[in-house]
Amino acid sequence: MKTKKFVRIASVMLVLIFTMSAFVSANAATYFEENGFKYSPISKFNCRIYGYTDSKTDVVVPNKLSAYTVLEIADYAFLNNTAIENISFSNAKSIDVIGEFAFSGCTSLKSVNIPMTLDKIGYAAFMGCTSLTDINISSNISVINGQVFQNCTSLTEFTVPNSVGTISDFSFAGCTSLEKVVIPKTVKNISDKAFLNCDKLTIFGYTNSYAQTYAEENGINFVALDEKTLYGDVNLDGKIDVNDVTLLQRYIAGESVLTDDAVKAADFNKDRIIDVIDATAIQTFIAHGQN
């Protein structure tokens, strides 16, 4: 009797072992790697990037991995990767999500270009990227989530996309070098902790806007963007220089967005068309020292 009982128990254990082995194997088989990108299919045609194993400093997220279109960067995918200096999504034509903590702790990361297709940047996605100075977001995000850029201590300026309505808790907290944030009229809600410890900050916004009210209520310097148009001053910082040309070129290439006043300022020759002619004219203006 004991022998039969032992055999039954052993049989059950073997079934469980084989079942677990099959489960692990099936799951392991769904993960692949290509050009340093670890990814997994999430449907018949699409995939999600889960990690990166290469040591390249400049990373271009691909549109496809194998036959799968890249739709998402998973939570923690690049967490604490200290090699990456630049990340571009210019080739990723369909990506719509950057997950939570996806690039958090990437302390060498200097620049990020985020495309129009993106709908969501997850909680704390770029937190602690202490070398980050250049962020270009031409996306459809409606919320800047909590702690997204917290403790990005090298960031000096940021333009909030026109699609955004809310800036959440601690979004830019601890960004101790942050001097300028451009906030469009679309923003109707900003957490009182969104810019905690940003002691150098000036908010650029519109007269009688929520941004102005927020700045005044929180003791933050405010500059109205609609008082005067300085043609050529694309980044609306009160002067015309190479930074304006760079921003305009990115806008023309579809890699950046501009506020309505920035678009007006970009029309340097006032022909109501924003193109390379304006960029060239601004370059000539700067070269001749007419600023």
Tally the domains of the chain. Answer: 1
Q: Which of 51-55, 130-134, 175-179, 233-237 is predicted with the least confidence, judged by mean pLDDT?
A: 233-237
Q: Tell me how far the alpha carbon of residue 148 is from its chain's centroid.
A: 9
Whether 287 maps to a domain, the answer reads: yes
Whether 6 maps to a domain, the answer reads: no
Whether 11 maps to a domain, the answer reads: no
Grade residue 37 by pLDDT with cuts at 50, 70 and 90: very high
Grade residue 291 by pLDDT with cuts at 50, 70 and 90: low
Average pLDDT over residues 77-98: 94
- CA 51/CA 149 separation, integer angstroms: 20
pLDDT at 3 over 80: no
Whether 233 maps to a domain, the answer reads: yes
Phi, psi of 212 (to 5 degrees): -65, -45
Distances from the Cα of 127 to the Cα of 82, 98, 123, 184, 257, angstroms: 13, 13, 9, 23, 23
Which CATH number do you get for residue 237?
A: 1.10.1330.10
Whether 249 maps to a domain, the answer reads: yes
Average pLDDT over residues 8-13: 40
Task: Give me the pLDDT at residue 2, please.
Answer: 43
Grade residue 270 by pLDDT with cuts at 50, 70 and 90: confident
Q: Which domain holds residue 247?
A: 228-291
Whether 276 maps to a domain, the answer reads: yes
Whether 282 maps to a domain, the answer reads: yes
Whether 252 maps to a domain, the answer reads: yes
More confidently predicted of 103 and 27: 103
Which pTM value belongs to this model?
A: 0.73
More confidently predicted of 184 and 14: 184
